């Protein structure tokens, strides 16, 4: 589980999240207020007809995009592969965001904080490292 996923403020706009989804590694945007997950969006939620200035939270949902921290990793991995889903937010029963399950592209396991940090480091231009 990625314990420090990228999050967005609850007031994020459709335009801000469209820019976020420009990165092909991004599969879900988490809208959070005071540590509580209020909504999750996938790129497909951002219909091109929607104005850039609209609040993205109106398009967000939690159903099917969250998982309990008590779920077993193997069962979740199997379910995610079956549903062709690569990301699930891990939340408490009160909605507190604990992290993000990120299924690796090959479906064989989950990404870690170290995996994400390494990918980010590899994608930085050489002069910024």
Condensed to tens digits (0 to 9), the pLDDT of residues 25-76 reads: 889 999 999 999 999 999 999 877 889 999 999 999 999 999 999 999 889 9
Q: What is the pLDDT of residue 127?
A: 47
Q: What is the pLDDT of residue 119?
A: 73
Q: What is the pLDDT of residue 38?
A: 98
Q: What is the pLDDT of residue 118?
A: 81
Q: What is the pLDDT of residue 129?
A: 41
- Residue 102: CB partners within 8 Å, gap ≥ 6? 1, 2, 27, 86, 87, 110, 111, 116
Condensed to tens digits (0 to 9), the pLDDT of residues 63-115 reads: 999 999 999 988 999 999 998 899 999 999 999 999 999 998 888 888 888 88
Give the tokens for residue 24.
């092909």
pLDDT reading at 23 higher than 90: no
Q: Which domains does the chain have, with CATH numbers?
A: 7-128 (3.10.580.10)
pTM over 0.75: yes
Q: What is the pLDDT of residue 13?
A: 96
Q: Which helix (H) or strand (E) holds 116?
A: helix 113-123
Q: What is the mean pLDDT of residues 10-19?
A: 96
């Amino acid at each position: 589980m990625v314990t420090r996923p990228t999050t967005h403020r609850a007031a994020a706009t459709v335009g801000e999240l469209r820019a976020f989804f420009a990165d092909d590694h991004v599969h879900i945007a988490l809208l959070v207020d005071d540590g509580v997950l209020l909504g999750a969006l996938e790129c497909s939620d951002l219909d091109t007809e929607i104005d850039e200035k609209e609040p993205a939270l109106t398009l967000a949902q939690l159903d099917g995009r969250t998982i309990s921290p008590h779920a077993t990793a193997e069962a979740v991995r199997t379910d995610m592969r079956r549903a062709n889903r690569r990301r699930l937010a891990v939340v408490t029963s009160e909605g507190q965001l604990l992290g993000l399950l990120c299924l690796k592209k090959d479906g064989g396991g989950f990404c870690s904080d170290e995996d994400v940090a390494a990918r980010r480091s590899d994608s930085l231009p050489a002069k910024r490292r």
